[in-house]
């Protein structure tokens, strides 16, 4: 069994999991990847307020998911820390990738390679968020 890498990533406290899940799901509605849980009015208001966080669909109509935009949206809308939002998105990516392999024909998709790539992207974002936070503390002193 493949265990996904977590070295250097913060753990999500149990009491924040539901909030992160809601924030993430709202982002998916925000970019048009899901519907039905949040009202049309809520999502439209978010799209006006946070228009800079929506990427246009690809030429073939596929909706684009951007990790940084999702993390920023979760932070702004739900007040969750960006590093925990990034880790939640990483875990969701793993869940999504493994469910695709279970429910669909995997084709040429390499699960381990995909998860390693998601880990590197998440770790890079978490590290950069930590550096920004450290620099802000240094400037404040």
For the stretch 21-24, contacts whose Cβ atoms lie closer than 8 Å and that sit 24 or more positions apart, written own/partner, are: 21/88, 22/78, 23/73, 23/74, 23/77, 23/78, 23/80, 23/85, 24/70, 24/74, 24/85, 24/88, 24/89, 24/92
**Higher-confidence residue: 87 or 135?**
87
Distances (CA, A) of 14 to 10, 17, 84, 88: 12, 5, 12, 12
Domain ranges of the chain: 14-140
Average pLDDT over residues 129-139: 56
The string of pLDDT tens digits covering residues 38-83 is 999 999 999 999 999 988 888 888 888 888 899 999 999 999 999 9
**Higher-confidence residue: 136 or 78?**
78
Q: What is the pLDDT of residue 96?
A: 74
Q: What is the pLDDT of residue 90?
A: 85
Q: What is the pLDDT of residue 113?
A: 75
pTM recorded for the entire structure: 0.75
Q: What is the pLDDT of residue 2?
A: 47
Under a CB-based contact definition with an 8 Å cutoff, are residues 30 and 43 in contact? yes
């Amino acid at each position: 069994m493949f265990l996904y890498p977590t070295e250097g990533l913060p753990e999500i406290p149990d009491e924040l999991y539901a909030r992160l899940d809601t924030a993430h799901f709202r982002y998916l509605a925000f970019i048009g990847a899901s519907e039905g849980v949040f009202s049309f009015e809520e999502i439209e208001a978010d799209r006006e307020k946070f228009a800079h966080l929506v990427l246009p669909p690809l030429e073939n109509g596929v909706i684009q998911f951007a990790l940084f935009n999702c993390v920023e949206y979760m932070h702004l809308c739900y007040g969750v820390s960006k590093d925990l939002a990034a880790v939640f998105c990483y875990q969701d990516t793993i869940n999504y990738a493994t469910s695709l392999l279970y429910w669909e024909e995997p084709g040429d998709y390499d699960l381990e390679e995909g998860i390693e790539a998601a880990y590197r992207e998440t770790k890079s974002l978490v590290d950069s968020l930590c550096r920004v936070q450290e620099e802000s503390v240094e400037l404040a002193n």
